[in-house]
Chain A
Amino acid sequence: MISLNVNGKRYDVDVSPDMPLLWVIRDAIGLTGTKFGCGLSQCGACTVHLDGEPVRSCVTPVSSVGARKVTTIEGLSPDSTHALQTAWVAEQVPQCGYCQSGQLMSAAALLAKKPKPSDADIDAAMSGNICRCGTYQRIRRAIHRAAGV
C-alpha cells in the first residue's frame, strides 16, 4: 500500500511502485481531469502539483511522491473560481479542451511564483505544454487577465 495526499484527501493505493502518478490518479483513484498525452514528459497534458511545484505526472513514479501534497485540476479550486479558471472562461480559451487541465496547472504554478508574469515568463513556464488546437494566444491573454494586468 502506498499512501498519497491528493487534493487534501488521503488515498491508500495498492499499485506497483514504478507506476507513474498519472495512472495512479486516473486508474486507481479515478480522477480523470489529469490527461495522458504522451507519457514521456513532452506535452504537459499530465501536469499536476507536488507541494505546489508543477511536475509531469506521466514520468513521476508513485513511489517518489512520498508525503508531498498532490494537487490535480480537480483540486485547483472547489468551485471553478480560481482566478485562472474564471479568466479561462472569460477569454473562451479551450477548444477541444484536452490540454487545458495541464495548461491551467502550469499557469497556476507560474502565478504562485510570479503574480505578474511577463510574456517571457509565460514562454518559459508554459512552453512544455502543447495545445494542438492552437489556443496559445488566448492562454496568454487569460494568464495576464488573471494576474490583473
Chain B
Amino acid sequence: MASTLSRRTFLKVSAAGGALVISGYIPGLNDTAEAAGSFEPNVWLKIGADDTVTITLSQLEMGQGVMTSMPMLVAEELDIDWNKIKTEWAPADPKYGNPNFGGAQLTAGSNSVRGMWKLLREAGGTARAMLVTAAAKDWSVAENTCSTEKGEVIHKATGRRARYGSLVDKAAALPVPKDVSLKDPKDFRLLGKTMPRLDIPEKVNGRAVFGIDVKRPNMLIARVVRCPVFGGKVATFNADKAKEVAGVRHVVQISSGIAVVADNYWAASKGAQALDVKWNEGSLANLTSADIMKKYKALAEQPGKVARNDGDAAGAVKGAGRSFERVFELPFLAHACMEPMNCTADVRSDRCDVWVPTQGQTASAAAAVAASGLPAKAVNIHTTYLGGGFGRRGEADFVTDAVETSKATGKPVKVIWTREDDIQHDYYRPVSYVRMWGALDPSGKPVAFMQRLVQQSLMKRLGPLPPNGVDFISVDGSATLPYDIPNIRVEYTETDPGIPYGFWRSVGASVQGFVVEGFIDELATTAGKDPYQFRHDLLSKHPRHRAVLDLVAEKSGWGKPLPAGHARGIAVMEAFGSIVGEVAEVSVTNGAVRVHKVWCAVDTGWVINPDTIKAQMEGGTIYGLTAALKGEITIQNGRVAQHHFNDYPMIRHNEAPEVEVHIVPSTEKPGGIGEPSTAVAAGALANAIFAATGKRIYTLPIRAEQLRG
C-alpha cells in the first residue's frame, strides 16, 4: 500500500517536453501550439499548451457532486481559470487509489473528499510551484516575488505575466519539489464558493451516458433469470421455448442463474419469461423474517462483545429510581437505485473490457479477472455515470453477470437487471434488534445509557472482525455517543441468517440515528425536560455538536408556537466526520404522517462546494425519511416478498417536505456529506411523531396502525 500511495510515487514527472511531444507529433497534420507539449507533474492533472487543465477523476459521480468538488480541490491550489477545466475518468489502476480505502478505488462511506482532499490539493500546489519556478527563472526574479492568478504567473513589480500554457515545457523539465505548502483556508478563492456542477448540463438533455446507455458494436442484451431463494441454484432448465422467441440468440447458464441473450431488451425479457427452470432452492427455502427476529431476540438475552464501557451502566440501571428498557427493531432495506443494475462486457481471448456504473473500480476489476480467467493487466474497466449508488454499486455481482455471459457467448453483452431483480437480489441494509436501557437520577439527569445490538457484521464484508469482536461500523453512533452520561455500555452481537447484506447509505448509523436519538428523546421527556435543552445540557464536552444543535433549533423556531396539530422533533449526531442536526415538523391525521418541513444544520469542516452540501443534505434526508415511513424488505420462504415500487414504495413529489439547510462555518478538516443526513432523519421524524401523538416509535417502518387511537 505504501509504495502505491506515497506522494513521491505520484509526483514523478511523467515527461512532457521530450517524449510526449515526439509521440504526440504527427508530421504534416498538426504543428500548432496545442501539440507542442504539456505538463503532467502527477497522475491527477495535465496542463496543455493551450491552457486547458485536464483533471483525472478517480472518485465516481453518482449525484454527490465529486465530478466538480474534486477538480475544485486541485484548482484552488493551482490558481487556474475554472472555465479551462476538463475532466477525465481514471481507469482501474492502483495509482488512482483512495488512501481512506488502503489504496482501493472506491466511492463510498462519504470518503471522496475526506480521502482525497490532501492529495488533490498537493497535486495542484506542486504544479503551481513548478510553474512559478519556471517563470521566475525565465524572468530572473525571485520565486517569492511572483504570484499566481487565473492560470497566469504574475510578477507584480515588473508587470510581467505568463500563461501557464506558455510555461508547460519549462515546468516539465524541473524537478518535482518534495514539500509544498497548502493555502490557509482563509485564503481560499474557490473552495467555499458555490460552483455550478460540471455534470448538470448533460443531465438535462439526455446526453449523460449512464451504464445502461453504453453501446458497443454487435452488442447483445441479456436478462438473467435468478433463483428467487437466496443461495438457490439451477437444478435443470429447458431453453426451447425461450429460444423460440424472435431475437433471442443464446441461453447460457452463469453462476447467478440463466442468462437469456437477445438482440434487444424486449426479446431478452420475453425469452426470460418463456424459460423453464427448476431450482434447487437450498437450505434457506423455509426462512422467514419472523424466524430471523426470533433468533435475534434470543441472542439479545445474552451479553454481547463490549464496544464501550464507561462506569457501570448495568449497576446504574438497577440502582436508579427511574430506569426503563426499550426494544427497537429495524428491517432489511433495499437500495433501489433509480438506474437498475447493469454492466456491459466484451470478453475476447486476450482481453476483457467492462463498461460499468460502479462505485468500486477495484472490486469491478477483481470480479472481471475472476470471471474472465484473464490476467489483471488484460482487464480494462471503463466507468460511466451512476444512476444512483447508495452503497449498492460498491458490489460487483453485475460485473460477474456480464463477464460470464460475454465469455459464454463470445459476444459483447450488456446485462440489464429488472426492477424485481434489483429489489429481490440486493445486498440489504441488515435487519437489527436492539435492546436499550436508560436511567435518570432524581433531578432528571441521565445516569445510564446501555445498548445491546444484534446485527450481521458489515465489517465482515471487508475483512475479519478485530480481536475484540466488535463491528465498529455497526455501533457508529452508539459507541461514539457524545452525551455526557456517566455510565455508558454498548454491546454488539454478530449473527448471520444468510441473507445477503451490505452497505446502505449511512450504513451502521442508519440504525443508530433512529435508535440512539429516539432513546435519548425518551430519556428527555421521561425526565420532563425539553428535548432540545436536555441534549444541549449534555453536550458541554462537544462544542461542535452543541453548535449544530443550537443552530438547527434556532432556525426551526424551536419552542415557538405551531399550527394546530403540528409538532417538532429534534435529533443530532456525528457520522462520517460531519455533525448533522435536524428538526422535523409533522402532523398526524388518523395515523397518516405528514412531514411539513425539515430543518438541517451541518458542520462538515471547511466547505468545498456549499450548494452540493445542501443538495446532499436535502436528498439524504428524503432517503432517510423514505426508509422510516415506507421501507421494509421482508423474507418469506427464503425469498424477498417485495417486488417493485408498488410494494417497496418511495416518497414522491406530493409527500416530499422542503429541507432547509444551514451550514456551520468551520475550519475543521472536511467531513463526509453523502450519508449523515440519512442517518439522522429518522430520529428527528420519530421524535416529532411522539410530540404530535404521545406515541413512541420503536419499530420501523412507521405504520399508521401504531399511531391510531
Contact = CB atoms under 8 A, between A and B. Distances in A.
B63 A34 contact: no
A38 B644 contact: yes
Contacts of B199: 94, 97
Interface residues of B, number: 64
B387 A92 contact: no
A22 to B, nearest CB: 9
Interface in B48-82: 62-65
Contacts of B201: 80, 89
A98 B204 contact: no
Given A92-B611, A101-B206, A134 B266 contact: no
B63 A130 contact: no
A109 interface: no
Contacts of A101: 206
The 10 closest A-B pairs by CB, nearest first: A33-B206, A134-B622, A95-B63, A98-B387, A97-B203, A96-B63, A136-B656, A134-B619, A73-B206, A32-B213
Contacts of B138: none
29 contacts: A16-B266, A26-B265, A28-B264, A31-B206, A32-B209, A33-B205, A35-B387, A40-B644, A43-B338, A43-B419, A72-B206, A92-B197, A94-B199, A94-B204, A96-B63, A96-B339, A97-B387, A98-B210, A100-B203, A123-B654, A129-B652, A130-B645, A133-B63, A134-B626, A134-B651, A135-B618, A136-B651, A136-B652, A139-B653
A138 B21 CA distance: 47
A126 B656 CA distance: 12
B266 A27 contact: yes
Contacts of B611: 92
A123 B654 CA distance: 5
B334 to A, nearest CB: 11
Contacts of B658: 137
A58 to B, nearest CB: 10
A38 B212 contact: no
A100 B508 CA distance: 30
Interface residues of A, number: 61
A73 B205 contact: yes
Nearest to A23: B266
Nearest to A32: B213
A50 interface: no
A62 to B, nearest CB: 9
Contacts of A18: 266
Interface in A17-54: 18-20, 23, 26-28, 30-40, 42-43, 45
A72 B201 CA distance: 17
Nearest to A19: B266
Given A16-B246, A36-B416, A134-B621, A127 B653 contact: yes
B20 interface: no
A74 B205 contact: yes
Given A95-B615, A135-B615, 16 more contacts: A19-B266, A32-B215, A74-B206, A76-B205, A94-B200, A95-B64, A96-B62, A97-B200, A100-B203, A122-B653, A132-B388, A133-B338, A134-B651, A136-B622, A136-B653, A136-B656
Contact of A135 (B197, B246, B619, B645): B619
B162 interface: no
Given A97-B199, A138-B618, A123 B206 contact: no
A31 B215 CA distance: 11
A96 B388 contact: yes
B459 to A, nearest CB: 27
Interface string B89-127: 000000000000000000000000000000000000000
A80 B619 contact: no
Contacts of B340: 36-37
B208 A127 contact: no
